[in-house]
Amino acid sequence: PIIERHGREPNRLLQILLDVQEAFHFIPPEAITCIAEDLGLPRVSVEGTASFYSFLSLKPAGEYRILFSDNITDQMLGNPELMRDFCNKLWLEPGKVSEDNRVSADHTSCTGMCDQGPAALVNGWPLTNLNQERLDLIGDLIRDRIPVSRWPSVLFEVKDNIRRAGVLLGEPLERGAAIRATLERGVDATLMEIKVSRLRGRGGAGFPTADKWTGCRDSPGLAHYLVCNADEGEPGTFKDRVLLNSYADLVFEGMTIGARVMGSVKGFLYLRGEYRYLLEKLEDILARRRAVGLLGRNILGEAGFDFDIEIHRGAGAYICGEESALIESLEGKRGRPRNRPPYPAAQGYLDQPTVMNNVETFACAARIAAHGGEWFARMGTRQSSGSKILSISGDCARPGIYEYPFGVSMHEILDDCDAEDPCAVQVGGPSGFLVSSKEFGRCISFEDLPTAGAITLFKRGRDILQAVQNFAHFFAHESCGFCTPCRVGTQLQKKILDKIANGHGTASDLEELKHLGHIMKTMSHCGLGHTAPNPVLDMLEKFPDACGQKLKNLVFEPAFDLDGALETARKITGRDDPWAHLP
Ligand code: SF4
């Protein structure tokens, strides 16, 4: 029935696997065989997809699978200790399922709840504000075999935490108003309004939206597709969660306008696996929009204006935020970045012209369609028009969502969220910039500090090396493994930082980190590898003491214990040449 429900469509392979995972708590081998036969795919392709995504498990993961977020803010809030105590109480070994196959506990990357951590997921549902008491309760619920659907709702409470609203999060827009304005104005004039607004993509790269839409519209193809990238996996960001929870109509409206401009009849919302809890709510909103003629055939009575949106779930792979990897994932494959060119605007989903924008970009497009491009362009700075929504977490009294016109200074942001004696800020998540207190006069904008929205604060006394080490572990875990500079580079970076943190680092390790960073930046295949060394290089430049104080006063200490590794062979052969030992 699961395969039937998805119309035996190979592109829906990932969605089928997610449903199997939910039903059985893992992907049994028989299910892989059955899916392969029914979809007409080689078994190895199905297994390849199933093994790529961290939320899919090929081995039994227990009736209750608890994944503790190991984002740096969750670490700072005590998640490692909470996880350790939880495992001790339930006699669990981290990463392994209990002997009775009932429960497992493991780590996962950021769950998008940094403003209300410590956080975790149970069978894909978010747990927030964890503490000892809540985890004791969870332990009791598991022991009593209470289904997750009957657990107290307070455990799953997710707040929006909007602390400062601007033009996007402020006055609500009447449902359908932006689409009506688009129909009145016409397609070319709407595209001109987007151009006049100088809207740039909010996913981080900042590509001009009007150029992207024009490129896709003008590319020949059998169909033009439109994708909303709601896979915000950058640790520290959670603003798309809030937009989808409370402003989904605005996002869907922006997608519908984009569809009108590009002549798309089909759009996708790629929802990150961690936000699976929003799925039913979003499906209801789509159904309501269909019921009032804002989606489906002849939208708002306009003959031939047909467009609908399908939601695809992600499954815990950060790399799927990269647009070509996301398209692979939409096609039911492993999320591996494609070679470019061709760019998705010319050859994307099913090799057809595809436009992909971030959730916030579509929300901006809806506002622009309703209020005009000039209105939008009046806000912000010369190269960065409009506003930016920031996800603020870490050492401050008021973590949450803040919307500012572009150009706001770090000083103003730190004041507003009551930052606690800040000494460093990670802007844009691990792939962004580590900013020191000397730079708090800098501004959020494409010309100074561009960001998709994550702002993580560190107070004086925080161990910056620990933060950067956390980021390095994140990249090593999330590298898709396709190209050597990133696959090997992220692992080496992680190992060297661990070595330094454990007190075995020397000056030569710092040189090695710089050299490695240069290779990764220049030779990796996609943005993940290009940006993975950013926090390490920033730390070495701006916080030299973070590592310096932990270094040994030696020129070099090997990370690999050569004598230890050779000991068994020496015993077996009875040969132990003195000159073959390191001094
Ligand atoms: Fe994969 Fe990293 Fe290479 Fe990107 S840079 S293709 S994530 S291995």
The ipTM estimated for the assembled molecules is 0.99
Is residue 11 scored above 70 in pLDDT? yes
Is residue 415 scored above 90 in pLDDT? yes
pLDDT (0 to 100) of residue 563: 78
How many Å apart are CA 306 and CA 267, to the nearest integer?
11
Residue 583 — pLDDT band, cuts 50, 70, 90? low
Which CATH class for the 64-159 domain?
A: alpha beta
Architecture of domain 163-377: 3-Layer(aba) Sandwich (3.40)
Index of the ligand 1 atom closest to the CA of residue 337: 6
CATH classification number, 387-462, choose in 3.20.20.70, 3.40.50.720, 3.10.20.600, 2.30.40.10: 3.10.20.600
**Angle formed by the axes of helices 507-523 and 534-542, to 10°?**
140
Kindly state the percentage of the chain with pLDDT values over 90: 91
Residue spans per domain, the chain? 2-52, 64-159, 163-377, 387-462, 463-583
Is residue 548 scored above 70 in pLDDT? yes
pLDDT (0 to 100) of residue 108: 96
- Do the beta carbons of residue 369 and residue 189 sit within 8 Å? no
Ligand 1 contacts CB of residue 524 (under 6 A): yes
Ligand 1 contacts CB of residue 482 (under 6 A): yes
pLDDT (0 to 100) of residue 579: 75
How many Å apart are CA 364 and CA 353, to the nearest integer?
22
Residue 577 — pLDDT band, cuts 50, 70, 90? confident
Ramachandran quadrant class, 226 (left: phi over 0; alpha: psi -120 to 50; beta: rest) = beta
Query: Ligand 1 centroid to 487 CA: how many Å?
Result: 7
Buried residues in 400-430 as b, exposed as e (16+ CB within 10 A): bbbbbbbbbbbeebbebbebeebbbbbbbbb
pLDDT (0 to 100) of residue 565: 77
Residue 573 — pLDDT band, cuts 50, 70, 90? confident
**pLDDT mean over 60-67:** 94
The pLDDT tens digits of the residues spanning 107-126 come to 999 999 999 999 999 999 99
The pLDDT tens digits of the residues spanning 83-101 come to 999 999 999 999 999 999 9
Q: Answer yes or no: CATH 1.20.1440.230 is held by domain 463-583.
A: yes
pLDDT (0 to 100) of residue 86: 97
- Do the beta carbons of residue 378 and residue 406 sit within 8 Å? no
Residue 582 — pLDDT band, cuts 50, 70, 90? low
At position 114, the amino acid (one-letter code) is: C
Which one of 322, 336, 528, 531 would you pick to mutate in the ligand 1 pocket, going by the greatest count of ligand atoms within 8 A of its CB? 528
Using CA atoms, how far residue 48 sits from 234, 325, 329, 577, in Å, is 24, 15, 12, 47
Is residue 208 scored above 70 in pLDDT? yes
Buried residues in 108-120 as b, exposed as e (16+ CB within 10 A): bbbbbbbbbbbbb
Q: If you take atom 5 of ligand 1, which residue's CA is the nearest one?
A: 529
With tokens 């973070």, the residue in question is 546
Using CA atoms, how far residue 97 sits from 27, 76, 81, in Å, is 15, 26, 19
- Do the beta carbons of residue 532 and residue 542 sit within 8 Å? no
The contacts of residue 197 (CB under 8 Å, 6+ apart) are: 210, 364, 368, 372, 373, 374, 376, 377, 385, 386
